Amino acid sequence: MCRIEGEMEERERRRRRWGLGLKGTALGDNRVEKLKSCIVFPRSRVKLWIIRATTMVLLWTCLVQLTTLRELLGPSVFKGCPSCFSQESATSFLVKSVPPKRVYQNNGYLMVSCNGGLNQMRAAICDMVAIARYLNVTLIVPELDKTSFWADPSEFQDIFDVDHFITSLRDEVRILKELPARLKRRVVLGIVYTMPPISWSDISYYQNQVLPLIRKYKVVHLNRTDARLANNGQPFEIQKLRCRVNFSALKFTPQIEELGKKVIRLLRQKGRFMVLHLRYEMDMLAFSGCNQGCNKEEVEELTRMRYAYPWWKEKIINSELKRRDGLCPLTPEETSLTLRALDIDPSIQVYIAAGEIYGGTRRMATLAAAYPNLVRKETLLEPSELRVFQNHSSQMAALDYLVSLDSDIFVPTYDGNMAKVVEGHRRHLGFKKTILLDRKLLVDLIDQYNGGSFTWNEFSAAVKEAHTERMGNPTKRLVIPDRPKEEDYFYSNPWECLEPSNESETASSI
């Protein structure tokens, strides 16, 4: 274009030389301007692009240098910075805090199949991460139980934020969503060493018995994970890692988190609220054999259900004896008396964290009369909001878990897995008020009160005195040597993770 303009300019000069072109001056001015635009503007654009390219190269170099520096010096150097650079943020231009990968020689791969309900599996996942880390093996994202009573088809990623789980622990253990292709074929063909580890084992069992199997077979599958790592006597680093997984790495999916926040927001709009984990569902009563307050038809129905599940080993159960030993969940009627005796405000919102209460309205009548502000997630949310969670008991339990953590008071009527794990999590959040009911004492006091041996004031005073030190306050786990099933559960009171001053102290023993 510029060459053409130049030739036209030359012809114009010739015309002027011969006296041609009366309007040549104006035409020449226009052509000069066009000629300038051909020369000046491209030159300025080139300069602009050079500046941009140089700036991008410098920024990229700085980003790579910061990433390398962080990998070498560790995350503690950048702890005070509002943002930390990682390889992921460098490539995606997203600034997020990601711990550096832990570099170690991989001894093999560990697959695990969790068993039980949500909180039983949650604790097991924490144990398996700790075991994988100290065996220097790669953990495959745990498989969740789909064959238990609840028959929940949920996968790990349906309940927990799997990417956060993997990334947040990358400085401790390598976690993959699935086995590498070369090893995956072994699973398909069934050529994998499978075993249930021994319950309540310490880390030395896994180092001496399980690790050699992993080195030999490259992949080992643990097909049961509940209560497989001992509560006590473990290295302090293991206890801290179990807490880190439980309180930080295991986040629920954004969908569950958002709906949980909505339930909490709706409750907070009306003031204080208490979560009552009323463990009085049909499966609980059938499994435990507890039928206090049930009619004859209900007792027969519970018995039939107990015999229908062969893996429920205990079939013939003396309900009254079990209740006197404090091994039955409190009934709704007993719970109502207990809450009143503790002077729980009758106007407080009581969120029922449980499935369908066995006996329905008839069994809930006493509690509803004493505490009329009874609510459930089903009454707070629209059916359409819960539809996606229907037939997914673990996802429904996750909602109750979130609400339980945020409540002003948490009261479990039975010391099952949810009660224990929520108790420990609330301790971690600042020893939030958790009333741990002494069921064995309570049923005795309730029977005496109902029999006329106590006045109401005497009954109330006795209940209050018995629970003065059972409000989730700081304490040590009870350690019973050689009887691990009877000692306090790690996840209900992980004191090693709660206060720095506790690190050098030892748990009480009997």
Structure tokens at 289: 């054999």
Q: Which helix (H) or strand (E) holds 442?
A: helix 439-450
d(CA 493, CA 470): 12
The model's pLDDT over 401-423, given as tens digits with 9 standing for 90+, comes to 999 999 999 999 999 999 999 99
Enumerate the β-bridge partners of residue 269: none
Cα 334 to the chain's mean position, in Å? 32
User: CA 404 to CA 393: how far, in whole Å?
Assistant: 16
Asked if the model's pLDDT at residue 41 lies above 50, the reply is no
The CA R_g of the chain, rounded to the nearest whole Å, is 34
pLDDT, one tens digit per residue, over 89-132 is: 444 433 357 899 999 999 999 999 999 999 999 999 999 999 99
What is the structure's pLDDT at 81?
42
What residue has token string 């400085």?
171
Query: Tens digits of per-residue pLDDT, 251-280?
Result: 999 999 999 999 999 999 999 999 999 999
Q: What percent of the chain has pLDDT over 90?
A: 73
The answer, yes or no, to whether residue 356 has pLDDT greater than 70, is yes
Average pLDDT rounded to a whole number, residues 380-393: 93
Nearest residue to 391 via CA among 146, 144, 116? 146
What share of the chain in percent tops pLDDT 70?
Answer: 80
Please report the pLDDT score of residue 190 as a whole number: 81
Judged against a pLDDT cut of 50, whether residue 54 lies above it is answered with yes
CB 331 within 8 A of CB 292: yes
- Cα separation, 489 vs 502, in Å, equals 17
Q: Is the pLDDT of residue 20 over 50?
A: no
Is residue 412 within a helix (H) or strand (E), and if so which, with residue range?
strand 409-412
pLDDT greater than 50 at residue 470:
yes
**pLDDT at residue 493 is higher than 90:** yes
Average pLDDT, the chain: 86
Going from the C-alpha of 3 to that of each of 7, 16, 25, the distances in angstroms are 6, 20, 20
